Amino acid sequence: MESDMVLRLVVGLALTFGILAFAGRRMAFLVKLARSGKPAVGRLTDPTARVEAEAVEVLGQKKLLKWTIPGIAHVFAFWGFLVLGATILEVYGALFIPDFAIPVVGHWSLVGFLEDLFGLLVLVGITIFAILRLRNNPEVKGRWSRFFGSHTSGAWIILFMIFNVVWTLFLYRAAQYNTGVFPFMDGGAFVTEIVAGWLEPLGETANEWLETIGIWLQIAVVLLFLLIVLHSKHLHIGAAPINVFTSRRPDALGPLLPMMYNGEPLNFEDPPEDALFGKGHIAEFTWKGYVDFMACTECGRCQSQCPAWNTEKPLSPKLMIMNLRDTMFAQSDYLLAAKGKHPGLGEFDEAALNSLSPEVRAEVERPFIGSREGSDHSAEDGYTFDGHRTTGADLPIIDEEALWNCTTCGACVNQCPVDIEHIDHFIDMRRNQVMIASDFPSELNGLFKNLENKGNPWGMNASDRNAWIEEVDFEVAVFGANGEDTIPADVDYLFWVGCAGAFEDRAKRTTKNVAELMNIAGVKFMVLGEGETCTGDPARRAGNEFLFQMQAAQNVEVLNEIKATKIVVTCPHCLNTLKREYPQLGGNYEVVHHTELLNDLVKAGRLTPVNKIDKTVTYHDPCYLGRHNKVYVPPRELVKATADTTVEMERSGDRSFCCGAGGARMWMEEKIGTRINQNRGDEAIATGAKRIAVACPFCSVMLNDAVTSRQQEEGRAVGVEVVDVSTLLLNATKA
């Protein structure tokens, strides 16, 4: 017995130190790699929110539970592993002392019960995962599987290893039970007892050996699992909690991050020589970017929601992140050698470059963003269904087509269980394409010129901004018309009409409706008229941060000068920029969307819908009102107040499907795949609703196009109209 214990200890420790040596090296490498990133700012501010995020999203698994079945399976596996931490302690104790028990609680039946219960639940969890993977087999379902492009074999190995962890656990525990050294001899460990019943007939010696062998196996399996984790997408076990802790709180939606230099906002007037403008190489990402890439679990939730991927375009947020991660690892020699000193702007750290093997050097010098047109790798963003990168050194790493496909709808960010900040990365790469490479879709040329010369995306004259006022039969106060130099105190709201609201026909109707409704309700408002210019949203989302900064600075100056405090808008993009982005430039205003204001007016009895529409209405959540700014309820309440029957589309609320116009896509051609607006329009039509209510000028145009194009076909979408929520309300209010 004594010598058996020595053998048990020696083999156990040898296994441990042998494998830990490898694991330790890998861990040190990963930490160094992450630290080689450029500095990130504000990642530890507001620690309370961060601890809370850790509690809710990591321990509470909140985002995983957005999807019930896979969510529960993951809760089992995750909590199982936390609880099984206790058994690791026990197994190492048993290396030294055969009847080891954790001090104080070590013999409590409850502890034994929980350990066994969670061991079992882990098995249930991985069974569910296995079934999900079989039913969603990317080899069969192609791009319609959320696992398309994820590492399939790696995932199966992980599931198999977890299975091994569990069975070896019960093996040694049952043998311990039979030899009488088990800490929970008094009951509780119900699974162990069952398995012990099976092993008991083998006899005492056999059980003694099974105990020792089981312990070795358990240790070996756990350590091998660790090693595999460190080399696979399962790295998320370690990276995800760090990523959640350092993520943008409350989420990476709404405002985009300003460009920084040495922890300060970049001065565009006189930028430092070595400032970077966006990301044009993997070495230009921050450490937070690298942790993002390490944290991706390849779960494909983002991909399953992405409007670009769902309309057969190359972009998948998951494949983008995987591609960045593969690139980070492929170039890790360079990243480690350059230690964050990569100069960027097409230059390299020469010393680091010269230290590389020819293969790595070729990868480092490979074009980062560019066209893959004409190659076989364009459609699925250069990945096979089972996670192999198919693009060689002859092709750019990031497909520009995929990069420009993004509508910045935020579905990916909203879904991601580990809080990866996809949009920020994509916009950073667009910034490089616009401000440094000057290589972007040619349609944006016109947009930028119109914004620069005319202050609006359509290139209309500022003098036409008030054209809508002539089409209404009530007085509209225009700022400055009576010589005022600040907004008079009796004005409730500055009505920010927006470029669409002033120049685009459908949106103009919304403008007039909202003005009329405010007029009816006795809300005093004033418009800026010719003083308004584009908020800068399209420029910013198209990567032209320089132009955005100029436009935003000008608007903030005007708004501060006239002492604007409360602003109402009809465009969710204006809302997002004025309310969430202008504070970055010193503009702080109380901004509401018209659906919020109108809903308040209805609730307060200042507007009374008397004439409800007798047709079914469905409401489409605009990305920048819903996901980006969490306004889901007021427009729905308004719709309910004006219509007898309403119906929801399947993809609604925070899972609403983009209309295709965001991210400056409104001004780009949609050349690949099917049309995003048609996809959404068809979904709305399929509800049978006769009115599709929208709350965004761009959604309005996009969905209207989709409906009209269906109406060209005989008997389809008959009588369906796309209307702004305000139109419904106005019609209902006027008897």
Partner 1 sequence: MKIAVCVKQVPDSWAEKKLRDGDAILDRAAVEGVMNELDEYAVEEALKIVEANGSGEVIVVSMGPDRAAEAVRKALSMGADAGIHLADAGLEGSDAVATSYALAKVIDGRGFDLVLFGSESTDARMSVVPAMVAERLGLAQLTFANKVEVAGGSVTIDRVSDNGVETITAALPAVVSVVEKINEPRYPSFKGIMAAKKKPVETLSAADAGLDAGQVGLAAAWSKVDSFAARPPKAAGVVVQDEGNGGIAIADFLAAQKIL
Compare residues 271 and 367 and give the one whose CB is closer to partner 1: 271
- 459 contact choice in partner 1, ligand SF4, none (CB below 5 to 8 Å, kind-dependent): partner 1
- 288 contact choice in partner 1, ligand SF4, none (CB below 5 to 8 Å, kind-dependent): none
> What residue has token string 């103009």?
508
**Using rule CB under 8 A, residue 542 touches partner 1:** no
DSSP H stretches of helix in 231-349: 236-245, 287-295, 301-305, 307-310, 317-330, 332-338
- 271 contact choice in ligand SF4, partner 1, none (CB below 5 to 8 Å, kind-dependent): partner 1
Q: Give the residues lining the site for ligand SF4 (CB under 6 A).
A: 296-302, 305-308, 315, 317-318, 321, 406-412, 415-418, 420, 422-423
Cβ at position 440, least distance to partner 1 in Å:
8
Compare residues 440 and 698 and give the one whose CB is closer to partner 1: 440
**Using rule CB under 8 A, residue 491 touches partner 1:** no
Nearest to 676 by CA among 400, 415, 414, 308: 308
- 453 contact choice in partner 1, ligand SF4, none (CB below 5 to 8 Å, kind-dependent): partner 1
Candidate residues 345, 472, 647, 672; the one interacting with partner 1 per rule CB under 8 A: 345
Joined tokens for residue 176: 């311990």
Cβ at position 432, least distance to partner 1 in Å:
10
CA distances from 350 to 68, 328, 341, 343 (A): 51, 18, 10, 10
Q: How far apart are CA 432 and CA 438, in angstroms?
A: 8
In contact, 11 and 219? CB cutoff 8 Å: no
- 440 contact choice in ligand SF4, partner 1, none (CB below 5 to 8 Å, kind-dependent): partner 1
In contact, 80 and 121? CB cutoff 8 Å: yes
- 449 contact choice in partner 1, ligand SF4, none (CB below 5 to 8 Å, kind-dependent): partner 1
Compare residues 184 and 698 and give the one whose CB is closer to ligand SF4: 698
Cβ at position 436, least distance to partner 1 in Å:
5
Q: Which residues have C-beta within 8 Å of that of residue 728, sequence separation ≥ 6?
A: 613, 617, 638, 639, 642, 643, 691, 693
**Using rule CB under 8 A, residue 546 touches partner 1:** yes
- The number of beta carbons lying within 10 Å of the beta carbon of residue 466 is 18
Compare residues 296 and 338 and give the one whose CB is closer to ligand SF4: 296
Cβ at position 317, least distance to ligand SF4 in Å:
4
Query: CA neighbours within 13 Å on the CB side: how many for 631?
Result: 26
Q: Which residues have C-beta within 8 Å of that of residue 533, sequence separation ≥ 6?
A: 455, 456, 462, 551, 554, 555
580-592 as b/e, with b when 16 or more CB fall inside 10 Å?
bbbeebebebebb
The C-alpha angle 187, 189, 191, rounded to 5 degrees, equals 130
Compare residues 101 and 320 and give the one whose CB is closer to ligand SF4: 320
Candidate residues 5, 117, 242, 436; the one interacting with partner 1 per rule CB under 8 A: 436
Compare residues 287 and 404 and give the one whose CB is closer to partner 1: 404
Stretch that binds partner 1, among 109-117, 410-418, 438-446, 565-573 (CB under 8 A): 438-446
Q: How far apart are CA 240 and CA 231, in angstroms?
A: 15
Stretch that binds partner 1, among 151-159, 352-360, 431-439, 590-598 (CB under 8 A): 431-439
The C-alpha angle 427, 428, 431, rounded to 5 degrees, equals 85
Candidate residues 45, 205, 453, 482; the one interacting with partner 1 per rule CB under 8 A: 453
Residues linked to residue 694 through DSSP beta bridges, in sequence order: 724
Map residue 52 onto helix, strand or coil: helix
- 525 contact choice in ligand SF4, partner 1, none (CB below 5 to 8 Å, kind-dependent): none
Candidate residues 287, 448, 496, 548; the one interacting with partner 1 per rule CB under 8 A: 448
Q: How far apart are CA 150 and CA 157, in angstroms?
A: 13
- 306 contact choice in partner 1, ligand SF4, none (CB below 5 to 8 Å, kind-dependent): ligand SF4
Cβ at position 498, least distance to partner 1 in Å:
20
Cβ at position 580, least distance to partner 1 in Å:
24
Nearest to 584 by CA among 593, 573, 576: 576
Q: How far apart are CA 149 and CA 300, in angstroms?
A: 9
**Using rule CB under 8 A, residue 267 touches partner 1:** no
**Using rule CB under 8 A, residue 442 touches partner 1:** yes
H or E stretch covering 526: strand 525-527
Joined tokens for residue 199: 């092993």
Q: List the interface residues with partner 1, window 198-227 (CB under 8 A).
A: none
- 3-state helix, strand and coil shares in percent for the chain, rounded to the nearest 5: 55, 5, 35
Q: List the interface residues with partner 1, window 352-391 (CB under 8 A).
A: none
Compare residues 77 and 550 and give the one whose CB is closer to partner 1: 550
Inter-helix orientation angle 109-135/152-179, to 10°: 150
Residues linked to residue 383 through DSSP beta bridges, in sequence order: 389
**Using rule CB under 8 A, residue 640 touches partner 1:** no
**Using rule CB under 8 A, residue 445 touches partner 1:** yes
**Using rule CB under 8 A, residue 444 touches partner 1:** yes
Candidate residues 25, 135, 339, 449; the one interacting with partner 1 per rule CB under 8 A: 449
Compare residues 423 and 602 and give the one whose CB is closer to ligand SF4: 423
Nearest to 550 by CA among 462, 457, 663, 452: 452
DSSP state of 529: G
Helices (H) and strands (E) in the chain, counts: 30, 13
Compare residues 100 and 448 and give the one whose CB is closer to partner 1: 448
Q: How far apart are CA 283 and CA 660, in angstroms?
A: 31
- 408 contact choice in ligand SF4, partner 1, none (CB below 5 to 8 Å, kind-dependent): ligand SF4
Q: How far apart are CA 232 and CA 363, in angstroms?
A: 21
Give me the amino acid identity at 50: R
In contact, 231 and 239? CB cutoff 8 Å: no
Compare residues 412 and 526 and give the one whose CB is closer to ligand SF4: 412
**Using rule CB under 8 A, residue 277 touches partner 1:** yes
Candidate residues 454, 640, 655, 675; the one interacting with partner 1 per rule CB under 8 A: 454
- 321 contact choice in ligand SF4, partner 1, none (CB below 5 to 8 Å, kind-dependent): ligand SF4
Query: Which residues sit at the interface with partner 1, rule CB under 8 A?
Result: 268, 271, 277, 345, 434-438, 440, 442, 444-445, 448-449, 453-454, 459-461, 463, 546
